[in-house]
Each structure stands twice: as structure tokens, then as C-alpha cells.
Structure 1
Amino acid sequence: MQSLLQAAALAPALLPASIPSPGWSGFDIPLPWGALRIHAYALCILAGIIAGLWLTSVRWAKRGAPEGSVWDIVIWAIPFGIIGGRLYHVFSSPDAYFGPGFDGTGDLSLIPQIQRGGLGIWGAVVLGVVGAWIGCRRSGVKLSAFLDAAAPGLLLAQALGRWGNWFNQELFGGPTTLPWGLQIDPNNPNFPAGVPADTLFHPTFLYESLWNVAGVVILLALDRRFSFRRSRLFWLYAMYYTLGRVWIEAMRIDDAEQVSLFGITTRLNVWTSILVFVLALAAFILLGLKKRPEPDTVYLPGREPAEKDAAPAVDGAPAPGVTGTSEASRDTDTVVSDSESRDNLPDNQSGSRPSSVPAEKGEAAPAGAKPGTDAAASGHTGSTATGTAPEAGSK
């Protein structure tokens, strides 16, 4: 018992008092003409894309989408999303690229260098949806159906991608004394000026990552319960994400465009999140008032998969519109063919046709012949059958 109490007393000392800054931000791949730098930020974004695609593809397949169509869509959505995310970041934090007050002292060459960090989620979503719309039109599926399938995957991708900010030591919050405070290298360009070197900061990247993971679970549970359609789950994703982004964004201390509205001056991303939340709420409510279409399908009108040309036969009858000879017809033809073959064979004794073969129509039986007596075979003149048919009732 005493040893357990001693271990409990030592536990706080064993736990880290802060989140350490990463020891590296990437690695180099040697090449004949130099080295290729692989940034940890890019690896986090890539991991997020892979995880988000996996979850989206699973959900998309369960909705009856055509096989492989998810790749035909994301091949448009991902590049559009990256471009849109970078453009929004440049617009919301323009000082590094255009200089303070757009005085021209910035460095425009930094704009395409996304490996340094800086992707704005709302630019990524807007242009990413445009790319997804192109892919959906080419695949013959509804954009609204794809957005519902992709909503949880988007949050999962964002949860993993946020860890790239930790590797870049960027986008952290204000100073804190909490045990999960984030260490930042004092020599890092992002370290605030005039702040003691041992200062800890709010790990806003971690807050947002955990918020997003919780959102994935919530969206999946709500979709399982209510089976949202017509992009309602996507708008629910937008509401959830912006609700967390407002308070997380307000904690950050990195440079950002400030906007004053209603006597309040705050970051552009805060106002954008509020606006997106209101629009998403309105869209979610309005779409909920509409009756769900019947049948509920992911295909665009007129792009449904073609039905099979031939239906299965019923009670041995061929399906309507199906050409070909039935099994019964083939059997009849075989009997007739066999009978005709036997007609052409001469009798072993008299050379006449067998008595079991009836006479052909149109030939009269000889006068005085008993009923059942065979007439002469056609082409065998002067030869008649002499046998008589058995009397009725004979066995």
C-alpha cells in the first residue's frame, strides 16, 4: 500500500509538464543534382487526405455509387482544394506576401511555397466543392450525395492535417501555464517578440484536432440515426466545424487580417466562421423542409445504370423480346428429323416403309383395304403392305 502511495506521489513528476516542440520538420532525399526536401507538414496533409479518402470511399460505396467513381471525383476535388486553400490563406494573411498595408515590401515568391504552411480551410472547401462538382458531373452522380458521404472524411482529414502546424511550430495560442502548454523554440521565427524564452503557449492545433475527431464520431452517429440526404450532413459538418473554429481562432496570436464589424475588431477567420455557420444553419433547415425524393439515388437523372437486356424466362417461356429457339422447339425438331430419317430407310424384308409410319396426306388408301392398312410409300409403285391392323381391343 505504501509503495502505491509513493508511486502516486511521483506520477505528476513523471508526466511531462508541457508539450515539447518537435525535434525535426522533415528529411532530405539525396538526388544526383542535390536533395529533395520532404516536409513533415506535407506528410501530415497527405496522411489526412489518405484517411479522409478511405472513410469517404467506404461511405460512398454503401450508398450504391458506381465503383471507382470516388477516384474520378477526388482527382478534381483535391487539386482545386489545395489551390483554394492557399489562395484563402494569402488573402487572410497578406502581409508576408504583399507587405503591411499592401506596401509592396512582401515576397510574392512565397505564395506557391505551401510546404512552409498556410492553407485556409474555407478556400479549400469552396474550390474543392467546385472540383467535386466537375468530377460528379463527369461520373453521372449527384454532388449533394457525394458531399454527404464525404463530410465525416473532411473532418478526419483536417484532424490529421492540423498536426502539420505542430511540426512547423506555427498557429499556436497565447501564453498559458496549463500542463499541456506548448513549447516553441525561441529561435523560431514564429516565436513572439518580447516574450520570455520559457513561455508556454496554447496548443490550438491540438484543440482543433481533438474537436475534429469528436466531430467525426458525432457526424457518423447522427447520420446512422437520421440518414441525412441532399447535402444536409455536409451543412451539419460546416456548422460543427465553425462552432469550434470561432473559439479556437480567437485564441491564436499569429498575424492575421483584422476586420471590424458591429464595433468589434477580430480576425477575419472568426467573422468568416460566424458567417458560414449562419448560412449552413439556414441551408440545413431549408433542405429539411423538402420531401425526400423517391427513389433516393446517387445518380443524376438519366444517368442511372442500364437494365439488363434479357429477363429470366418464366415457366419455361422465353422473355419478351428475346429471340432464339426454345428448348421444346429443339426437341420437336429432333423428333421430326429422326422420323424422316427412318422413313427413308427401306424395310429389311420387303423394301417397304415400316408399318408404323402413317401414309402421307393426300394419298387415298386402296379400295377394299381395311382401316389401318398402310398405303404404298410414295415413289414405290406396285408395292403395297399386306399386313392388317390388329382388331380393336386386342392386347
Structure 2
Amino acid sequence: MYQIKTFNAIAQEGLAKFTNNYEINKTDNADAYLIRSVDMHEHDFPSNLKVIARAGAGFNNIPIDKATENGIAVFTTPGSNANAVKEIVIAMLVAASRNLFAAAAYSAQNSGADISLRAEKDKTKFNGEELEGKTLAVIGVGHVGSLVANAASALGMKVIGYDPYLSADAAWQISTDINRAESFNDAIKDADFVTVHVPKNDETTGMIGTPAIANMKNGATLLNFARGGIVDNEAAVVALDAGKLHSFMTDFGDDVLLNRNDVVITPHIGGSTEEAEVNGATKGATTIMSYLETGNVHDSVNLPNLSVPFNSPYRITIIHKNIPNMVGQIATALANENINIESMSNAARKEVAYTIIDTNHLQEKQVDEVINELDKIGSVYKTRVIEK
């Protein structure tokens, strides 16, 4: 019986995916965590924990290095909230181009018998422009960015996409009407609107700062519904004050952005829809079950992709450092235990490697011995034995 622990409200549709081989929130020493936004950085991981799945695209709340050193596979659910984010970005594009927030604030603050006459007189203050024919730069055309690009194109916008890490799978999701920029600056230099949809990491933190904004078209509108910190908010404010930017719309609050008519802040609700929560919980649950029952890895945050048909009675999985002679040491340790290897597969991701070994010859009394022998290898993080 596998044990699952949750720390946030997880959609019931996701929890219902777990079969009778799973119990939920019966113990703190769980095999798997299914979480959303809970901060795990100060959390003590139990010895039995094998996998963390976050129902969402980001993983800033999980200490990845710490999890890896404890032999814990970390997964997110990319794409589960992509449509929700796409819709709010399209809504913000419309709102920005038509000055909807300023117009609504004006109407809400005016009353009296002559409101209709005054509104008719003053409405020219809020004249906007149509999106059709305007240029949108989409920085990052993965799960969310590709949907935004396609939807904006359908509205008649000229869309320019830029993503140096675009995978072949993602490329198939982009309309042939989308122009592909060769560089970041080429994408943004003539854009009326710039929206970012990249993960937050060392390379992308502050990527929209003073130099990038200087290369933008005067009067452009900037949107950040990806991650806080990708846009340098102080640089954005300087550009707004100088008239370089027309407006800034973001899902991530910051004191420097408060009390400005040219900034719209939403409280991190880009992916917060009932449908997205269900999608994330469902995908998180199926990911956990697949990893616990087969050891196969797909779209992990800290492990390489490795999926192997599980045809033998037993499977041994090892998370270890990516250094020379690890596979040789593992094979030697199994030979010393008289374990015959039916098949062996190995993959690496930067400093971390993952090995899957299938065997027909493993007696139940040998399981603990095999785990102990492999864990003795200094660069092994965690060994598991899975019985089919």
C-alpha cells in the first residue's frame, strides 16, 4: 500500500484517480507528496519519501537540490493551467488596448443625475485601439506561450515568437502564421505588446530589464503572467515614468508598482481556475502512480527522462550522481549478489543520472540486501526495488 500526503486543498477529481493501492493522508512518512503552493524549503523530508508532484507548472516552492540529495523525484504538471493563463493574457491584451480598467474606475467614481451626459463628454479620454493588426511578441512559446500566440493570431494580431529552447513537440503546437524571431531583440523591437512565458531560472531572472526595454518600441505594453522576477519591476517603472512603456500588466505584486494608473496587478490568479486545479491534480496523481509503480520518468524537474517497458518481475531503480564508472559499480554490486541483469537503461541530466535495471532473478529475501549494497556506493542517492 502506497501512502500519499497532501499539504494543500487538492481537487477531488485528482485524488479520485488513486487506486485501491493508495491511502491518502494516513501518515506523515509518505511515499509521495501531492502539493500545490506549500513552501517545502524548510521541510524535513521523511525517509520513505520517493516523489513530489506539484499540481502546477512552477517549482519555486520546492528545494530541488535537497530533494535530489534525498533521492526524491520531483515533477510538475506542465500544461495543466496553460489554457487558464492564455485566457487571462488575452483578456489583459484587450483591457490594455481599450483602457478598460481606467474607464471602469472612472465610471465607478462618478454618480449623479448628469452622469450620462458627463460620461458621453469624457469618454474620449478612454479611446483605445483595436488589437487587429498590432504586433505581439511572445517570449517563450511552450505550453502557455504557444496558446497565447495562436489565440492572438486568431484575433488578427501579427505575432512574433521567440524561444531558443523550443522543442520539436512544442513547435507542432504553433500556427504556421506565427513569425519566428532569430533573437530576443528581433522579437521585441517592433512589438506593440510584449508578453513573457518562460520559466524562472538564473538565465531568465531580470531578462526584461533596462537593456531589453530600451530596445522596445516606444509606447509598448508589457505583460508578465509567467513568474515574478522575470521582469525587472524597477526598470519597468522608470520606463513608464519616461513614457517608454505605455503600461505594465502583471500577476505578481511589488511595492514599487503600487498606486499607478499605468500598472495593473492581479493577485497571482493566472492559472487559478477550477478547470486548471482539476487538471493539475489529475496529472499529478497519474504521474505519482506511474513513477511509484514503474519507475519511469517523464518531464521530471530533477531527473532525466527514462521510460522502459516493464516486462520482468522485478525492477531496480537507482538515482545517482552522473560520474564515470557508476554503471560499472552498479553492475558489479548486483553480480556480487548473484543478480542477473535482464536489461539495463541509463540516462543523465547534468549532474544527476538515473538507472533502471530489470531482472527475473530476485528473491524476496534479497531485496533489502540489494538496496543496502547499492546504497553503499558513495554516489548513489536512492535505490528502489519495484515488484511488478
Give TM class, smaller chain: under 0.3
Between Structure 1 and Structure 2, whose CA radius of gyration is higher? 1
The alignment's TM-score, normalised by the length of structure 1, stands at 0.23
Provide TM-score, normalisation by structure 2: 0.23
Considering fraction of residues, name the structure with more strand.
2
